[in-house]
A and B are shown apart, each in its own frame.
Chain A
């Protein structure tokens, strides 16, 4: 899978929570402006791997890691973590807007960076909400609480919030698992739109979703990367028996 220049490349990443091994020797490249899906059964390490990509794993003091990950020209550890997380945004499994207004949710990251000018903030609010396909639904109630939105709207708001700081990579950790099929379809459309501008890595337990929206798919099993190839190849002609068993629903 070397169709495009990798934005991130993981080399021999291993990770432990105390004594429990969560990742074993993961080596894979994340190509630019594509959707890369990570699939696998619960507990296979797919979410943990995603969290290593913006160093959210640093927040857990029990985590120990080996190997390295390059983001563009240098390893993640050489980035200032604040800058890294601005450039590598994240959307979580459960929609988690802050209990603040829609406007304040979107501008949170910018305000942290010291942007204060109202016209600048207004412009980013509109462009982020438009890119997250939420503008038309909320443009008249930007000052209202984000908690009043539906689950699907909340998740698109979280995507807009991540986009507001203009990241290069967006990590999504099962972003549709708490949503109904209609809201899921909207997010999937959105992801296909977003890959024009952003590199997207999505963890999903939904194989149809991976098949629908991703260009490349990685299959994780018991902390290891079993197989990583184009999504078409993975779903039509997997190279590993375990991949085939998982994809055809024989376990998982």
Chain B
């Protein structure tokens, strides 16, 4: 064998090896998905998907069991949406400041700082929420305890912030200089250029940042388990006759339900299977959100 063909064989082996490793990720994804679906199937068959999605009575281990997961869907959507209401304007403001307004030195400090927020383990953030924010919420708003959706929203918005800032900042920073020059040359000032040229040009990246922030928020478990109270209820209030979510009530999320009940559920029971249905609902949310984000990011710019 010549040297050259040895090299060639070697390359072949390495290439095949890398292919196998890469392909494994697809296999694992399929395995997890398959596992989720087969475990969820008995409950879907027995109870029906309709009860899971619309029912509000969740008592899977009762003598007269209820499998309505709508309460948790409500809780999850409520805190995730609430968190985005806080973190979208906040995150966009930070992203705009970092990429367009901050002096170089401030930017060099601010950007890694925001990204560092993402590396705190969620249990630490949850613990801080539990011992610092929750008592403050209880005192300030005169509640019996501070473990509320509001507390969850605040902690979650901080956790979604780095995702939104870093992706939106990338999108804003990649708006070509030529667009900005054209805008200034037409007599626009800095704020007009940001609002009417830069943000519209970066809108697909900004949308993706928001979607991924939502994915981050809806999938978060530990923090909400610790600070949102975990009550199986759908707190509502009426404002001018309209029923609205009451953020000062306790809620339980889809994720927290799996974490709480998954530990001591009898294996193979209908309850066990129904937790996989919850997992499936959660997966559908995050998958849809990521899919939309992906499509928006890769869509051809208008």
Chain A residues with a Cβ under 8 A of chain B: 54, 56, 59, 81-83, 85-86, 89-90, 92, 94, 96-100, 108-109, 111-113, 145, 147, 158, 161-162, 165
Contact flag A99-B301 (CB < 8 Å), given A92-B178, A94-B178, A112-B192: yes
Q: Cβ of B182 < 8 Å from any Cβ of A?
A: yes
Q: Which of A96, A145, A162 contacts B179 (CB 8 A)?
A: A96
**Chain B 168-200 interface mask (CB, 8 Å, partner A; 1/0):** 000000001011011111111100100011001
Query: Once A and B bind, how many residue pairs between them come within 8 Å at the CB atom?
Result: 67
Question: Are A85 and B178 neighbours in the complex by a CB distance under 8 Å?
Answer: no
Interface range on chain B: under 10, 10 to 19, 20 to 34, or 35 or more? 10 to 19
Closest 10 CB pairs of A and B: A96-B178, A90-B185, A109-B186, A82-B187, A85-B187, A86-B187, A96-B182, A145-B302, A99-B301, A99-B201
**Docked pose: A203 CA to B178 CA in angstroms:** 17
Contacts of A165 in B (CB 8 A): 186-187
Contacts of B192 in A (CB 8 A): 112
Contacts of A94 in B (CB 8 A): 178
Question: Are B187 and A92 neighbours in the complex by a CB distance under 8 Å?
Answer: no
Q: Taking the nearest CB of chain B, how far is it from the CB of A217, in angstroms?
A: 24
Question: Are B186 and A112 neighbours in the complex by a CB distance under 8 Å?
Answer: yes
Contact flag A112-B302 (CB < 8 Å), given A56-B181, A92-B182: no
Nearest neighbor of B201 in chain A, beta-carbon distance: A99
Q: Which of B182, B184, B301, B302 contacts A158 (CB 8 A)?
A: B182
Q: Which of B178, B196, B302 contacts A108 (CB 8 A)?
A: B196
**Docked pose: A92 CA to B182 CA in angstroms:** 8
Contacts of B187 in A (CB 8 A): 81-83, 85-86, 109, 112-113, 165
Chain B residues with a Cβ under 8 A of chain A: 176, 178-179, 181-189, 192, 196-197, 200-201, 301-302
Contact flag A98-B201 (CB < 8 Å), given A108-B196, A147-B301: yes
Nearest neighbor of A147 in chain B, beta-carbon distance: B301
Question: Are B185 and A82 neighbours in the complex by a CB distance under 8 Å?
Answer: no
Contacts of A90 in B (CB 8 A): 185
Contact flag A92-B186 (CB < 8 Å), given A99-B201, A147-B302: no
| 11 A-B pairs (CB sep. < 8 Å) | A81-B187, A83-B187, A85-B185, A90-B185, A92-B178, A96-B179, A96-B181, A98-B183, A99-B201, A147-B301, A165-B186
Contacts of A108 in B (CB 8 A): 183, 186, 188, 196
Q: Taking the nearest CB of chain B, how far is it from the CB of A33, in angstroms?
A: 21
Nearest neighbor of A146 in chain B, beta-carbon distance: B302
Contact flag A56-B184 (CB < 8 Å), given A96-B176, A96-B179, A99-B201: yes
Nearest neighbor of A54 in chain B, beta-carbon distance: B185
Contacts of A92 in B (CB 8 A): 178, 181-182, 185
Nearest neighbor of B180 in chain A, beta-carbon distance: A59
**Docked pose: A100 CA to B176 CA in angstroms:** 14
Contacts of A54 in B (CB 8 A): 185
Nearest neighbor of B190 in chain A, beta-carbon distance: A59
Among B176, B178, B182, B302, chain A packs the most CB atoms within 10 A around the CB of: B182
**Docked pose: A96 CA to B201 CA in angstroms:** 12
Nearest neighbor of A113 in chain B, beta-carbon distance: B187
Question: Are B188 and A112 neighbours in the complex by a CB distance under 8 Å?
Answer: yes
Q: Taking the nearest CB of chain A, how far is it from the CB of B174, in angstroms?
A: 12
Question: Are A59 and B184 neighbours in the complex by a CB distance under 8 Å?
Answer: yes
**Docked pose: A112 CA to B185 CA in angstroms:** 12
Question: Are B179 and A85 neighbours in the complex by a CB distance under 8 Å?
Answer: no
Contacts of B196 in A (CB 8 A): 108, 111-112
Contacts of A99 in B (CB 8 A): 179, 200-201, 301-302
Contacts of A81 in B (CB 8 A): 187
Q: Taking the nearest CB of chain A, how far is it from the CB of B91, in angstroms?
A: 22
Question: Are A162 and B302 neighbours in the complex by a CB distance under 8 Å?
Answer: no
Known interface pairs A83-B187, A99-B200; 13 further A-B residue pairs with C-beta atoms within 8 A, sorted by A's residue number: A59-B181, A86-B187, A92-B182, A96-B181, A96-B182, A108-B186, A108-B196, A109-B187, A147-B301, A147-B302, A161-B186, A162-B186, A165-B186
